[in-house]
Amino acid sequence: MNDSSDPFKKAGITLLCVGLIDIGVMVYCIVNKISYSSSFNMFAVIAGILLIKGNVYTVRIVRWLSVFIIAAYNEEKIKNIKVDW
């Protein structure tokens, strides 16, 4: 597959960049004693590196881990919704 049309490599670079930015924001918040919570940063960096390597088996693992992270994120958001019946 060409490097210019490899979707795994593009997704890997994107995840790596987003993860590194997230880690930078986390460090900034820790230094300035600002509350911050994110479970995406390390996952994004590791998944990005693995996707850049381009292994199809890695894509399966990243897909399933992404599903679980999205489900956990949405569950936390759903708990904070207040419904008046």
State pTM to two decimals: 0.68
pLDDT, one tens digit per residue, over 9-53 is 888 898 899 889 989 988 998 899 888 777 677 888 888 888 888
Domain ranges, ordered by start, for the chain: 7-79
How is residue 66 written in tokens? 């992404």
